[in-house]
C-alpha cells in the first residue's frame, strides 16, 4: 500500500511540473487544464550544446541564464535556482543538454534532459511520449504558490509496522522496505525493496548531515524521499520560511548529488 502511495505522489509531482507548461509533456497522464488567468509564457531561446565527446555531460551555467532571467521577469513568486550541477553520464548518443521551462502566475518549472542533438529550449521534440522522445529526463525543479492547483509534495511517513532503528546518528523507524526519520522540521525516508536499503539510508543521512540539514534553505518545513521503485531517484520539497511558497526538486541519480543540488538553491535577483 505504501508503494502505491509513493507512486501516486510521484504522479502528482510530475502532473504539477507538466501542468505549469500548458501543453503535453512526457508523463503517464495528460496535464491538467489551466484557466485563462493561468496561461503559460514560454521562450524559444537557443541552448548551447555540451562538448561533443563521450563521458560526463556537464550543465553549463550559461545555459540557464536566460531561463533564470525569464522566470524572474514573469513569475509572481520568488524564483529559486540551483548553482550546483553534477555531471550526468552520457553515452554515444546523448551528448547535449535539453531544457524545458514554463512559468505562470502561480509558479514555474524547469526540466533538464540529455538529448542526441542540439535542440532549442522547449523544443516540441522534448514533448513526445517517452518511447519516441529525444528526452532522457534527469532533473526537474520548480516552485508554486501554496494553495495553487498542482501544489504537491512527496508522501513521507513513518512505516506503520516499523521498529525503532538508529542509522547515521538519526533515531528513526525501519521495516523491510523503508527507513524513516525526522530532524527538526524535515521528514526523511528511504525506500528500497532490495538488500541495499541500509546503504541507501546511510547515504542519505550522511549527505543530509554534511549539508547542514539544508539549513541554508531557511525552510519552514521539508520532505525528502529517496526511492528505487524503478531506478534511483530523489524527491525533495520544502516550504519557504514565510509559509507562502513550496519548492520541489526531482533528481534521477545519486542521492548525495540530489542533496547537494538542493543545498545550492538561491533566489534569482535582478542584475
Residue with cell 502528482: 12
For residue 151, is it within any domain?
no
Which residues have CB under 8 Å from 26's CB, separation 6+? 126, 127, 128, 129, 130, 133, 135, 137
Same domain, 102 and 171: no
Residue 47's pLDDT band (boundaries 50, 70, 90)? very low
One domain for residues 186 and 80: no
Does the pLDDT at position 59 exceed 80? Answer: no
**Percentage of residues in the chain having pLDDT higher than 70:** 68
Q: For the chain, how many residues are written?
A: 271
Q: Give the pLDDT confidence score for residue 149 in this predicted structure.
A: 74
| Of 263 and 93, more confident | 263
111 and 210 share one domain: no
What is the per-residue pLDDT across 217-250, written as a single tens digit (0 to 9) for each? Answer: 999 999 999 987 666 789 999 999 999 999 999 9
SS3 assignment, position 127: coil
User: Under DSSP, is residue 134 helix (H, G, I), strand (E, B) or coil?
Assistant: coil
Residue 42: which residues within 8 A CB-CB, separation 6 or more?
Answer: 21, 22, 101, 102, 103, 121, 122
Position of cell 550543465?
A: 59
> Which position has the higher pLDDT, 27 or 152?
152
**Quick check: 216 pLDDT over 80?**
yes
Q: What is the pLDDT of residue 115?
A: 80
pLDDT digits (tens, 9 = 90+) for 82-110: 988 887 766 667 677 788 898 888 899 99
Total domain count, the chain = 2
**What is the arithmetic mean of pLDDT over 204-227?**
95
In a domain, 103, yes or no: yes
pTM tops 0.85: no
Q: Specify the pLDDT at position 146.
A: 92
**214 and 105 in a common domain:** no
Q: What is the pLDDT of residues 159-187, one digit of tens each?
A: 988 999 999 999 999 998 899 999 999 99
Give the residue numbers spanning the domain of 203: 163-267
Mean pLDDT, residues 143-166: 87
CA distance 105 to 174: 41
Asked if the structure places residue 158 within a domain, the reply is: no
pLDDT, greater one: 154 or 220? 220
- Give pLDDT, residue 186: 97
In whole angstroms, give the CA distance from residue 186 to residue 196.
Answer: 23
CB neighbours of 126 closer than 8 A, spacing ≥ 6? 25, 26, 98, 100, 111, 113, 115, 119, 133, 134, 135
Amino acid at each position: 500500500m505504501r508503494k502505491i502511495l509513493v507512486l501516486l505522489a510521484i504522479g502528482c509531482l510530475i502532473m504539477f511540473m507538466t501542468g505549469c507548461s500548458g501543453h503535453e509533456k512526457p508523463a503517464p497522464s495528460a496535464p491538467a487544464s489551466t484557466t485563462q488567468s493561468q496561461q503559460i509564457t514560454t521562450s524559444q531561446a537557443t541552448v548551447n550544446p555540451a562538448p561533443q565527446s563521450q563521458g560526463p555531460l556537464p550543465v553549463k551555467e550559461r545555459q540557464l541564464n536566460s531561463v533564470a532571467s525569464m522566470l524572474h521577469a514573469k513569475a509572481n513568486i520568488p524564483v529559486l535556482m540551483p548553482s550546483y550541477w553534477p555531471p550526468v553520464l552520457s553515452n554515444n548518443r546523448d551528448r547535449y543538454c535539453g531544457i524545458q521551462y514554463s512559468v505562470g502566475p502561480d509558479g514555474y518549472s524547469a526540466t533538464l534532459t540529455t538529448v542526441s542533438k542540439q535542440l532549442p529550449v522547449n523544443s516540441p521534440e522534448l514533448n513526445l511520449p517517452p518511447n519516441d522522445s529525444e528526452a532522457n529526463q534527469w532533473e526537474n525543479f520548480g516552485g508554486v504558490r501554496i494553495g495553487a492547483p498542482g501544489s504537491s509534495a512527496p508522501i513521507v511517513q513513518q512505516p506503520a509496522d516499523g521498529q525503532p532503528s538508529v542509522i547515521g546518528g538519526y533515531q528513526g523507524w525501519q521495516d523491510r522496505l523503508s527507513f524513516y526519520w525526522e530532524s527538526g522540521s524535515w521528514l526523511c525516508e528511504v525506500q528500497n525493496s532490495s538488500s541495499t536499503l541500509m546503504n541507501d539510508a546511510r547515504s542519505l543521512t550522511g549527505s543530509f548531515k554534511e549539508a547542514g540539514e539544508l539549513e541554508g534553505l531557511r525552510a519552514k518545513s521539508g520532505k525528502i524521499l529517496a526511492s528505487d521503485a524503478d531506478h534511483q531517484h530523489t524527491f525533495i520539497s520544502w516550504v519557504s520560511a514565510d509559509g507562502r511558497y513550496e519548492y520541489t526538486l526531482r533528481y534521477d541519480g545519486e542521492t548525495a548529488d540530489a542533496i547537494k543540488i538542493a543545498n545550492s538553491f538561491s533566489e534569482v535577483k535582478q542584475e
